[in-house]
Amino acid sequence: MRANFHLKTLTVAVATLSVISVANAAGLDRSGQDITAFLQDGTYAEAVYTYIDADVTGHDNAYVGSDKNAYQKGKKIDDIAESYDFFRYGVKADINDTFSVGILYDEPFGAAADYSGNNNFVDQNPLSPRNGEGTNVEVRTESITGIIGAKLGESKNFQVYGGPVAQRVKADVKLRGTAYSAANGYSIHVSPDQDYGWIAGMAYSKPEIALKAALTYRSEIEHNAPASELYPFVANLPPALGLSTNRSDTIEIKTPESVNFDFQTGINPTTLATAKVRWVPWSDFAIVPSLYNDVSKLSTGDNTGLPLVDYDDDQWQVELGLAKRVAPALAISGTVGWDSGAGNPITSLGPIEGYYSAGLGAKYNFTENWAVSAGGKYLWFGDAKGQIPNKTIVSDFESNDGFILGAKLSYQAK
């Protein structure tokens, strides 16, 4: 006789994995844009806190010459990765046995890097008003996603869902030190801007074996944000070029589209296997401030110029997990993951080429409806060489790692 892996008995194990799953990745990816809160049964709500701390150290480039790809080990670069944290919230309810609604909040994209010490990414000129300042980048986004879903078929096994996404972005970047040549001293402040996109997906479930599969697409979101630039080098250029050291303009930033695949299935009545796959086309992403771009055209000799940030490759991310219910109210889980990164060499503002990861988590149901989860993940970062927009190698980062800690409070009533 075939055993039934009822979701009721596996609830403890299911949600454990999502505490620290897919977080910190290629490009500016942070949260993984998880939507599994909407895929839970009945009325469901969660609040998730994630803390990420990475150790990213390397050396600058001591090579002097015309070969952009040449590298010679230079001065030490201390840890540039600033620790950061973010929250994720989700609420979902069934209107009836066909329609469901949900609201999700997360912080999908971001960056936090800060150079210090005695190296080519810190202004060492005693005559400069920026003496001692290091290269710094801070990018933050926030998203609110509204979802409505409809279950189809005689057994309601299929579901289609979609809805609007509101997203807010802001950023600050400072380039300092001889690594950036004429761009030493450049700064840009991108004021907060809100714009809109959409989400759409489909899901399939088979409760008798605790199987769920969902494919979710998120659109790119185009921001036209107010931006203020400062470029001290422009003061050395001929006035006839019509460039000023300061410029206030708008900047177009398109946060990328993405595709997520979420899968789970029961192995036996107390064990669940899961898989997550995520694709983000970072090769299509670029940040192109107008003043920076206009000045770069002098060196490129064309009408295109250079972006401040761009990436060569798309990101692929895979995470596999097992969850085991070890007591009526307690489950444990483990995950292994891989992230392809977004190219190598890569921007000096985020010199990591993907990672491998291993994580552990646990969930305890302290009442029938309420539960608390906690977990941790260790990351082994891929070695990468840092480059500036003209593709000159300026640094090398090797043997770096990091960790993620997460906690979640959840409520579910079926």
What global pTM score does this model have? 0.93
Q: Residue 270 maps to which CATH number?
A: 2.40.160.60
CA 105: distance to chain centroid? 14
331 strand-pairing partners = 325, 363
Q: What is the mean pLDDT of residues 368-384?
A: 91
Residue 330 to residue 13: CA distance in whole angstroms: 8
**What percent of the chain stands above pLDDT 90?**
73
Per residue in 254-268, pLDDT (tens digit) is 999 999 999 999 888
Per residue in 69-115, pLDDT (tens digit) is 999 999 999 999 888 888 899 999 999 999 999 999 999 998 889 99
In a domain, 334, yes or no: yes
Which residue type is seen at 51? Y
pLDDT at residue number 288 = 95
Give yes or no for residue 1 having a pLDDT over 60.
no
369 strand-pairing partners = none
pLDDT at residue number 209 = 86
- pLDDT band for position 6 (50/70/90)? very low
Question: Residue 333 is part of which domain span?
Answer: 7-413
In a domain, 119, yes or no: yes
How many residues are there in the chain?
414
Rounded to whole angstroms, what are the CA distances from 296 to 187, 240, 307, 310?
A: 15, 16, 9, 15
Residue 315 to residue 28: CA distance in whole angstroms: 11
Residue 309 to residue 288: CA distance in whole angstroms: 7
Per residue in 333-363, pLDDT (tens digit) is 899 999 999 989 999 988 888 899 999 989 8
Cis bond upstream, residue 281 (ω within 30)? no
- Return phi, psi of residue 12, to 5°: -60, -45
* Residues in contact with 140: Cβ distance below 8 Å, sequence separation at least 6, in sequence order: 107, 110, 169, 170, 171
In a domain, 77, yes or no: yes
Rounded to whole angstroms, what are the CA distances from 295 to 49, 213, 346, 357?
A: 42, 49, 22, 41
In a domain, 100, yes or no: yes
In a domain, 12, yes or no: yes
* Residues in contact with 73: Cβ distance below 8 Å, sequence separation at least 6, in sequence order: 59, 62, 396
The number of domains in the chain is 1
pLDDT at residue number 21 = 57
In a domain, 11, yes or no: yes
pLDDT at residue number 325 = 87
- pLDDT band for position 27 (50/70/90)? confident
Per residue in 171-183, pLDDT (tens digit) is 999 999 999 999 9
pLDDT at residue number 210 = 86
- pLDDT band for position 126 (50/70/90)? very high
| Structure tokens, 381 | 């970062």
CA 391: distance to chain centroid? 23
In a domain, 1, yes or no: no
In a domain, 2, yes or no: no
pLDDT at residue number 85 = 87
* Residues in contact with 159: Cβ distance below 8 Å, sequence separation at least 6, in sequence order: 100, 149, 150, 151, 152, 202, 203, 204, 205
Per residue in 246-296, pLDDT (tens digit) is 999 999 999 999 999 999 998 888 889 999 999 999 999 999 999 999 999
Question: Under a CB-based contact definition with an 8 Å cutoff, are residues 141 and 171 in contact?
Answer: no
pLDDT at residue number 23 = 55
- pLDDT band for position 19 (50/70/90)? low
